[in-house]
Structure 1
Amino acid sequence: MTPFSTEDVVEKAPLAWRLRPQNLEEFLGQRHLLSPGKPLRVMIEGDMVRSVIFYGPPGTGKTCLAHIIASKTQALFIGLSAVAAGKKDLIEVLEMANKRWREGARTLLFIDEIHRFNKIQQETLLPAVEQGQIILIGASTENPYFALVPGLRSRAQVFPFHPLSEEDLVTLLKRALDRFYPDIKVEEEALDLLARLSSGDGRKALNSLEVGITMVSEAHNPKLTAQVVTEVFQKSIPYDTQLHYDAISAFIKSMRGSDPDATLFWLAFMLEGGEDPLYIARRILIAASEDVGLADPAAIILAGTAYQGVKEIGLPEGALLLAQAALYVATAPKSNCSYVALRKAQEEVKERGDIQIPPHLRDSSSYTKRGKYLYPHEFPHHFVEQEYMPQLRLFYQPSDQGREARIKERLKKLWKERYG
C-alpha cells in the first residue's frame, strides 16, 4: 500500500511501462471520453474527479489514465492492486482516509483489477464511497454489471474504454521507436501488421515490438520486418467474461436463425477461446427444446446424446459431437411453441392462485368424493373427450413446421372445438 511514485522508472522496465503517457495530450485513444469538453476530461483537468469505474479490454489505457490523474490531483493518491491486496490492506486505507476526511482532506483510491475483489471486499468500500471519505477509481477488464456488486455500481459512474484503433497503435509504436530505438530500421508493413495483430491492445503491441527488436538487434544491419513480427507474435483469442456471454449469445442466435456456417464459426471461436465444452453442450440442449421443439423431436435426443458424449470423452474429440449437434439444431425446422405454451400456462397458474383439481382427476387414494374418470384406452382410438382443467384455456398452439404440422392436424381431429 504505497502512493504511486513519480520517480523515473528504471531503464530495464518493460517498454509499455517506460512509454506511459505523462499527460492527456500524450494519451492515445478513448476520444469518446477525453476529447476537449467531454465530462471525464473536464473532471480531470479541474481536479474534480468523482468515484468512477474504468471498464474495458486490457491495454486500452485504464491504468495509464489513473497515473495521469495521480499527477494532476491535489488529493492524496493511493494505489492498490486487487490481485495482491487483502481486506486488511483495504481497511487500513479506509481508516486513514476517514481520518483525513474528518480533517477536510481528500483521498483518491485507485484499485486496479477491482473485479478480483470478492463480494465482502467490494461491500467494505460502500460506506466510504457513499459518504465521500474516498474518491474511488476502479479499473476492470470484466463487465461491472457482472463483476461488481450493485451497490458499488450505483455509487460510481462507469466509463467504458474501447480497444485502440490500428491508427492509434501505429502512432504508439512509432513513438516508442523514435524515443527508445532510433537506430532500428522498421518496415511500414511490419508496423501495420503488428497493429492489426494486437487487437486494440497497446500493451501487447509494445511488448511484441520489444521482443521483435530484441531478435534483430544483434544483426549487422538491424531491421524489423513483417516476417519477424509474424514469428514473434503469438496470436490468441482474448476470451474474457464478457466474450463468454457475447459469444454464446451469437452462437445461440445463429442456431435459432438456421445459419449452419455462423453456428460453426462461433462454436470454433468458443472452443479456441477455452470455453467449457459442457457449457456449450448445455446451451445446444436448451436450444433444441426452446427453438426446435416438436418441429423435430429428434433434435433434443441428439443434443442430449452429444452432452453425455462430451461428458464422457471430453476434448478434443468431443468437439465433433458438439459440431454435429449444433448443426442439427441449426438446420432443423424451428418452433418455439412449446416454450410459449409453457410461459402462458405458468402465467395462468400465477394469476389464478388457489386452484382446485377436478375430482375425477385426483389420486385414487383420495377420500374426497370423486367424479367418474373416463379411461381413454377403453374408447375408440384410445381417446375420449373430457375435462382435464378447472377452466378451459388454450396454451399450446402448434406451428406448421416439420413434425409439429402433423401434431396440429391430430389435435384438430381430437379437440375439434378447441383446435378446429
Structure 2
Amino acid sequence: MESIRILNPRFRKALVLENPHPILDETLRSQGFEVERLPESATRDVAGVIATLERGQHDLLFKRSRFEVTDEVLAASRRLAAVMLCCIGDDSVDKDACARAGVLVLNDPVSNGRSVAEMVLGEIICLARRIFVAHEAGRQHLWTKESWGRYELLEKNISVIGLGNIGRQVAQLAHAIGMNVYFYDQSETAREVGRTLGWHPCATLAEAFRVGDVVTLHVSAEDAKGRSNRNIIDFEQFRLLGAERGENCPRVFVNAARGFLYDPQALRRAVTEGIVRAAAVDVFPDEPGSSSDAWENPYADLGAVTTTPHIGAATEEAQPRIGLHMAHSAWLLNTRGTVRDTVFNPKVSIGFDVEPPYTALAVVHSDSRGTKKAISDAIFEAGRNNIESNHRDFARYGIAYDISAIDAPLSDDQLSGMIESARTISGDATAIRSIRQFPVTEGQN
C-alpha cells in the first residue's frame, strides 16, 4: 500500500499560499484546522514550499492562480488530499499529475463573478465613451471636449465569448442597459440558457466578432472536451470585429478571462491598424509572481489599450466570499467526503444525504474496468452494509471518485485485499490512487 495515498481520517493541516483573504484561515481554524500561511513571496520559492509540505504533511493546499502544482509538489505530502483553488482558473495546476496521484482539485466558480462582470461593463462604458483618453488629456491640461469616437451603448451589439457564470452576468448587465446580446459557446446547455433569455447564439467565433460592436472574452483554459483554448483567437478574428456594424461602431475588445487566448502581437496589430478602436486587458500570457516582480507590459506604448494587473476579482466583497466558499468546500470534504466544484467535472456535487452515524469510505481510483466492482465486492465480502454510495467518473483524466456510507469500517487487511483485487481485475497496478476511511457522527464539526 506504500504507493497509495492513505489519507488521514480527519483533515487537520492546511497550507495556504498566495495570500487569499484571512477569513479563510479564521474559518478553517474554527473547524479545527492547524493553518500554516506562507508569505506571498513564497510563490517564487518552489523548493521552500516543497520543504514546508514535506515537513508538515498537510492534508489540504489552498492557493490562488500563480503557484504551479506539479508532480514534485504533490509528492511532498503523502497526506495531501486536495488542492483547493481560491479562484476559478485551474491552469496553474497539473491536473493530470493530480489524477495520477489521487489528489482532488477543487475551485470556486461562482464567488468572483459579480466583481469581474461589473469591471468588464465599466470598462466597456469607459472605452466606448473614451473616458480613459479624456482623463489622460486632462492630466496634460488639455480640454478635449468632442463627440468624435464616443458612442452610446443603447442598441449596440455585445458578443460574449463563453456563457459561463461570468459571461452570463456580463450579458445580463449589458442587456439591462439596452445592449443586444450575442454569444458564442460550444456547450449546448449554455446555448439553451442563452436562447431562453432571448439572446442570440453565434455559430462560430468569426460570426461573434462580425456582429459585435463590443467583444468580451469569458472562456476557460480548456473547452468541454479538455482541449486547450490557447490561441483560439488570432488576427483574422480581430480583423472581423464589427465588420457587419458599419462605421458607427465603437469596436471595443475586452479580455478578463485568460491571457493566452491569443498572441498579444495579434491584438497589437489590430489596434495599430485601427481595426480595434479600444481595448481593455486584465490578463496576460506571462504574469509576475508578486507585486514586487518586474513585468513587461506588451501594450505599454498603445494608448488605446487599457491594462490592469489581473484585478477582476480583486474587490473587498469577492475575496471574503471566495475564502468562505473554499472553507465550506473543505468542511464538506472533511466531514462528509462530499466533493463540490471539482475541476475534474465542473458543476457536479458528489456525495449523499445519509443520516449519521456511519463510516465513509472515499476512494480515488482509475476508471479501469472492474475497479469499481472491486470496491463494492470488498464491502460485501467484509460483511458490511453499504447504506448508500455515489460514484463519478472523470473520463478526461482517467480517474473516478467513489464514496460509500457503510455501517462499520474495513480493517487494514480488508483494505489491502480491496487494493489487490482492484489491481488484479483491472490489470492496472495503479488502480487505487488514494483511500480515506472516517467516521461520520451527529453534530460533527
TM-score range normalised by the length of the shorter chain? under 0.3
The higher radius of gyration belongs to 1
More strand by share: 2
TM-score by length of 2: 0.26
TM-score by length of 1: 0.27
Bigger relative contact order (CA 8 A; separation at least 6): 2
More helix by share: 1
